[in-house]
Amino acid sequence: MPLITINQVQKYYGDNHVLKGVDLDIAMGEVVSIIGRSGSGKSTLLRCINGLEGYQEGSIKLGGMTITDRDAQAREISRSVGMVFQSFNLFPHMTALENVMLAPRRVLKKSAAECRELAVRMLEKVGLGDRLDFSPPACPAASSSGWRSPARWRCRRRCCCAMKLPQRWIRSWSARC
């Protein structure tokens, strides 16, 4: 059974037909690239998969559960689908550690101690273990999209990750490893 099944998804913004009968199955562990020109619906499809945006027709299933709208079920589904956005923002008044601790604390309702331990581990994995207490302006490496997004995403322990322009952080990751 596929992890994600997309069947005849149709999405409109007014008269603009953005997603036209999209069909796609994605298996666990499979890497899929969605390629297209600007405005072709790539981000819209990712947002529909994540439950951040609705669609008019068709179905999207994650592990057999249908993503329908922004109700309680959709919120639960979105907790298991990570999304790395094209533009990333850190809270400048928070340290690198606090920024990475935010999602597991707020979304997953983990204790502060659990969040700290997890965030330290993830920041160490992405080469920022020595900069836990730096704020984003003082730590360019912590501010780069190549580092904070994978650390944040890993802290939420998602079943899958949807990302726009993944080469941006993959390039940074490989340069540091």
pLDDT tens-digit map of 134-159: 876 655 544 444 444 555 545 444 55
User: Cα separation of 93 and 135, whole Å?
Assistant: 7
What value does the mean pLDDT take over residues 81-104? 76
Average pLDDT value over all residues in the chain: 75
The yes-or-no verdict on residue 22 having pLDDT over 90 is yes
Tell me the whole-structure pTM to 2 decimals: 0.58
177 class by beta-carbon count within 10 Å (0-12 exposed, 13-18 middle, 19+ buried): exposed
Helix (H, G, I), strand (E, B) or coil at 83: strand
- β-strand 4-13 against 81-84: which pairing, if any? unpaired
What is the model's pLDDT at position 15?
95
User: Cα separation of 51 and 159, whole Å?
Assistant: 14
What is the model's pLDDT at position 54?
87
Per residue in 44-56, pLDDT (tens digit) is: 998 888 877 889 9
What is the model's pLDDT at position 173?
39
Per residue in 57-92, pLDDT (tens digit) is: 999 988 777 876 555 665 666 666 766 655 556 778
- The second-level CATH assignment, the architecture, of 4-78 is 3-Layer(aba) Sandwich (3.40)
Contact between 119 and 145 under an 8 Å Cβ cutoff? The reply is no
First and final C-alpha spacing in the chain? 35
- β-strand 81-84 against 160-163: which pairing, if any? parallel
Q: Where are the domains of the chain?
A: 4-78, 96-157+169-176
